[in-house]
Amino acid sequence: MNASVLLRRTTLRAARPVPVSRTIVGSQFSRLASTLALFEQRDGKLQSSAQNVVTAAKQLGNPVIGFVAGKSAKEVAEQAAKIEGVDKVVYVANEAYEKGMPESYAPLVVENTDDVTHIVSMHSAFGKNVMPRLAALLDTQQISDIISVESPDTFVRPIYAGNAIATVQSTDAKKVITIRGTAFSNAPSGSGAAEVIEGKDSKHAGNVEWVGEDLTLSDRPDLDTASKVVSGGRGLKDKENFEKIMMPLADAMGAAIGASRAAVDSGFADNSLQVGQTGKVVAPELYLSVGISGAIQHLAGMKDSKVIAAINKDPDAPIFQVADVGLVADLFKAVPELTEKLKK
């Protein structure tokens, strides 16, 4: 990438007023300006998070250009083109970007950001890994994990594990943003018909090699997007109980399984199931917590759920302060009873 070109363009943009209204799409001011939405793919399949990213990207006011890279990026781009609100999808079909390694992926995105004012992705493992590197290459201060768009330069994001909400205004010419998926609805997919075009690729090489992965596969709904989540904590005492009690409950409800940090640290459940400040943030229709006290770090990951229910034997557990419905009971009796009654 030519640094001087980038610098010149950045300086020019800084002097130009940023369009503030959301309704001027297509006007002379934003004829070229656009928002680049990074979509995640796995094995040639578009990840559903793309729909949340599009919703957020649309709120920024400019045309939305989707971006995908990987081995079967063209096929993924065609899936993405069907999302409503996407104006164009740029793809780079190159196996080198298949695993989203930031060392090569970040410069690739930079190469495709001509006339782009905003770059948006999910605040997921991928987004957290790639976006800050990308922001540094563009010399811009990223805005992480936003929960709403106030205007094209002003955003709202939680800080201190969601105990405070900050409204921040960016003075950077290019804005790099990660979004909290649960705060933005799914843009409908099916009727969109965006143009699919091939992006630029200077064949960036990374200095880190992908060796392998170890993923937990399950038939249950995905924790990030499930409409119901049942979550277990330290109160389950061991892994055997966790499986014996939580799995049938989840199946009876058609829910995804989550866990508190205490449960994960004690080895009851896989790390990727952790809900909280340092794990996943979920906001399902129903969050049922079982044997979880409700530490602030855990609440940070679930307090935006529509309905929170809690089963805990300690009537003073902090979880009851946020639960819409609480049951003070021994989970070893109450949960199997609940599971049986839900099956009927």
Partner 1 sequence: MSTLRILVPVKRVIDYAVKPRVNKAQTAVETAGVKHSMNPFDELSVEESVRLREKHTAKTVEDILALSIGPPKAADTLRTAMAMGCDRSIHIEMAEKDEMLEPLQVAKILKEVVEKENRNLVILGKQSIDDDASQTGQMLAGLLGWGQAYGASEVTLEGDQLKVRREVDGGTEVVKGKLPMVVTTDLRLNEPRYASLPNIMKAKKKKLEKKKLEDFQFRAENRLKTLKVTEPPPRQGGGKVENVDGLISKLKELGAL
Nearer to partner 1, 94 or 218 (CB): 218
CB of 63 or CB of 284, closer to partner 1: 284
Is 292 annotated as a binding-site member?
A: yes
* Interactions with partner 1, residue window 265-324 (CB under 8 A): 265, 270-272, 277-278, 285-286, 296-297, 303, 306-309, 311, 315, 320-324
- By beta-carbon proximity to partner 1, the closer residue of 40 and 87 is 40
CB-facing half-sphere around the CA of 249: CA atoms within 13 A: 26
- Which residues sit opposite 288 in a β-bridge? 230, 309
Taking the C-alpha atoms of residue 179 and residue 120, their distance in angstroms, rounded to an integer, is 7
Q: How far is the CB of 103 from partner 1 (least distance, A)?
A: 6
214 interacts with partner 1 by CB under 8 A: yes
Judge whether 260 and 246 are in contact, CB under 8 Å. no
User: Which residues does 141 contact at the CB level (< 8 Å), separation at least 6?
Assistant: 135, 170, 172
Region from 25-33, 52-60, 72-80, 97-105 binding partner 1, contact rule CB under 8 A: 97-105
329 makes contact with partner 1 (CB under 8 A): yes
CB-based contact 257:229 (threshold 8 Å) = yes
Near partner 1 by CB under 8 A: residue from 21, 163, 185, 203:
163
- Shortest CB 184 distance to partner 1, Å: 17
Residue 19 in tokens: 């369009």
User: Judged by CB, which is closer to partner 1: 236, or 338?
Assistant: 338
Flag whether 293 is marked binding.
Answer: yes
Determine the angle formed by the axes of helices 102-111 and 125-137, rounding to 10 degrees. Answer: 60
Q: Please provide the size of the chain in residues.
A: 344
Contact between 14 and partner 1 by CB under 8 A: the answer reads no
Binding to partner 1 (CB under 8 A) within 180-199 occurs at: none
Site for partner 1 in 234-263 (CB under 8 A): 253, 261
Cβ proximity of 77 and 94 under 8 Å: no
Q: Is the dihedral of CA 323, 324, 328, 331 positive or negative?
A: negative
CB atoms within 10 A of CB 207: 7
Cβ nearer to partner 1, comparing 193 with 215 = 215
In the complex with partner 1, which residue's Cβ is closer, 102 or 192? Answer: 102
Query: Which amino acid, one-letter code, is at 91?
Result: Y
Q: Please tell me whether 261 is known to bind a ligand.
A: yes
Binding site for FAD: which residues? 234, 260-261, 274-278, 291-298, 312
